[in-house]
């Protein structure tokens, strides 16, 4: 008759295939969670030594995105970035600390704190720029190690507090011409905490 009969799928086979698919997806999730992650990273993230591998497990399909990390192209990139980061941090913290020492009356007494801050401002900004440019690149070189590192988290929190303090309370105290010893001590403690957090990244 020219009519094509539709072949009916055996319900028993469909159920078996459905259960097998669910079981496979479940095992894939468990494998991603347990494979060299120690329970710290959710099952949809997996670290790769040659880049970043991110798996998105949806309802009906699994997709994979692999991005090669350009910082792994040469063994010299990370140490060079680290040197620039340290230089930027030294310029930033060093110039601010000199102003704090002047506010405490420990150094540079031939200038006022406002005059010294004006002289140091270009170097402070250069140090801040170098640090902010090199820092994110260092973070991307091993993002999951830094993200789950308590030393790095402490450093980031104190860095935000120190920068906010420096560009608000610290500057107002300098402009007012008051001794501001409490402000200077707070500034020094915040920046010391930033440095300590950076040092302890390698130990925690």
What pLDDT does 56 receive? 41
Residues 6+ apart with CB under 8 A from 183: 103, 169, 170, 173
Structure tokens belonging to residue 164: 């906010």
The whole-model pTM stands at: 0.65
Q: Please list, residue by residue across 11-22, b when 16 or more beta carbons sit within 10 angstroms of its beta carbon and e when fewer do.
A: eeeeeeeeeeee
Burial of 76 (0-12, 13-18, 19+ CB in 10 A): exposed
What pLDDT does 135 receive? 92
The CA distance from 91 to 128, in Å, is 8
What integer is the mean pLDDT of 50-67? 42
Q: Is residue 63 within 8 Å of 56, Cβ to Cβ? A: yes
- Answer with the residue of higher pLDDT: 195 or 21: 195
- The CA R_g of the chain, rounded to the nearest whole Å, is 28
What integer is the mean pLDDT of 129-142? 90
Query: Lowest-pLDDT range, 18-22, 66-70, 107-111?
Result: 66-70
- Answer with the residue of higher pLDDT: 8 or 70: 70
Mean pLDDT for all residues in the chain: 77
Query: Tens digits of per-residue pLDDT, 146-173?
Result: 888 999 999 999 999 999 999 999 999 9
């Amino acid at each position: 008759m020219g009519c094509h009969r539709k072949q009916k799928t055996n319900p028993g086979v469909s159920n078996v295939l459905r259960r097998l698919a669910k079981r496979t997806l479940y095992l894939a999730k468990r494998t991603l969670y347990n494979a060299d992650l120690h329970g710290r990273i959710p099952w949809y993230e997996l670290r790769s030594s040659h880049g970043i591998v991110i798996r998105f497990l949806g309802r009906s399909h699994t997709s994979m995105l692999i991005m090669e990390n350009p910082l792994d192209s040469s063994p010299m990139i990370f140490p060079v970035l680290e040197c620039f980061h340290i230089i930027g941090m030294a310029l930033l913290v060093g110039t601010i600390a000199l102003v704090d020492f002047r506010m405490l009356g420990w150094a540079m007494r031939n200038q006022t704190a406002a005059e010294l801050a004006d002289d140091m401002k270009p170097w402070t900004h250069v140090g801040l720029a170098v640090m902010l440019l090199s820092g994110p690149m260092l973070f991307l070189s091993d993002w999951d190690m830094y993200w789950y590192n308590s030393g790095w988290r402490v450093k980031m929190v104190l860095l935000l507090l120190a920068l906010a303090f420096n560009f608000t309370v610290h500057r107002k105290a300098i402009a007012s011409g008051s001794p501001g010893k409490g402000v200077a001590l707070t500034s020094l403690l915040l920046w010391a905490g930033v440095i300590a957090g950076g040092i302890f990244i390698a130990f925690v």
